[in-house]
Chains A and B, each alone.
Chain A
């Protein structure tokens, strides 16, 4: 036996030194995969797969991201169809946490109520 690998030992068309050419788009487009662990939860992005079409992208997504985790549903979407802000523009979100008028904590009424009650009692 030449080798422990049955593919080497059984198949005669493996010839050393012959390197196939891998074409530029041989593995297809990328699809972004969204995974839902439980009914009622959001679908969350978990990664990408290469596939020639959305149906096969779902099949690969199931193998790749639904193999080991609890899963009830998956979405795939072509990477090219995702629109995103560049991280360079993330300063436009800077003032978000400062907008206290949109937070429950931005409204304090207890002091006024206490002052009013005190005044009434006098």
Chain B
């Protein structure tokens, strides 16, 4: 699962115009136009490298942190079957984090540095994981709707230009299809269950509605920056296009179960475009800055794991190990 490679406004302003060799840039862009993949040791513009590192790293962190709200429900899953599915799903998410850290490493940032930047708060992860999973219905909403949103994003990005990232995503998308199915199954079980199960599910849908609208990030369709990233096939769809695709596919699947979203303005117009109330983007920026309901807790758990496991790494440590950039 994953939330969009969102680039904060202040970061965009900080980015200086980087001059590139025009001949090399032309060759690079021709290769992308031709549908070829870029591989780790190829020449690439500095900004292409930088944006990919940011995006893949953020994606990797989202997988690792994203497993925490669900992982806490393994001990409280309502049946053996649900528990087995949840364990398998959480294990997959950690595996996805590993695959993505590998892909980011090929661009020259070490895994250790990425982990350090996560712990200090320098690197971000998807905002959606800074909200609590209060009931079992939250787990169903996450497994169904958050994973569905993540799949929209990941399927688009798997067609991107960077070879290691698209190979990792192809494998991830295959595994995510099980996550979505099991999430939908848990969601439908509650929606077609008792009155109190339905009420619990409706309450969870109400609480997750805004984070889901925030999931793909603010509109970026007019951003020059987005234009360039799309030109280089770093970003494959605008945030609005991904959000629209998600709403088209999944809002009807919630409505058909007689459930609602807490937004009277949510509707699709005749052109197939979805409209919704102002989702308070200020809250989105506040959560990115670290002021969400669970930011401190998520990072505290991750820091605790890192500290607790340090002695194991030290016991196994090979003092002669040298770092080698992976080949693919």
Residues of A within 8 A of B (CB): 3-8, 11, 13-16, 18-30, 32, 45, 47-50, 52-53, 56, 63-64, 67-68, 78-80, 82, 84, 86-87
Contact = CB atoms under 8 A, between A and B. Distances in A.
A63 B88 CA distance: 12
A86 B41 contact: yes
B310 A16 contact: no
Say whether chain B's binding surface is mostly helix, strand, loop, or mixed.
helix
A26 B99 CA distance: 18
What band does the interface of chain B fall in when counting residues whose beta carbon is under 8 Å from A? Answer: 35 or more
Contacts of A4: 69, 72, 132-134
Contacts of A19: 119-120, 303
Counting from the closest, the 9 A-B pairs by CB-CB distance are A52-B316, A80-B324, A22-B116, A79-B324, A22-B112, A20-B307, A14-B304, A5-B72, A22-B115
A30 B105 contact: yes
B202 to A, nearest CB: 20
A57 B313 CA distance: 14
Given A21-B116, A30-B326, A87-B39, A5 B318 contact: no
A27 B91 contact: no
B313 A27 contact: yes
Interface in B246-291: none
A48 B95 contact: no
Given A8-B297, A20-B119, 4 more contacts: A22-B119, A25-B323, A47-B102, A53-B318
A24 B105 CA distance: 13
Given A16-B300, A52-B316, A32 B327 contact: yes
A58 to B, nearest CB: 14
B312 to A, nearest CB: 10
B228 interface: no
Nearest to A82: B327
Contacts of A79: 324-327
B322 interface: yes
Interface string B91-123: 110010011001001000011110110011000
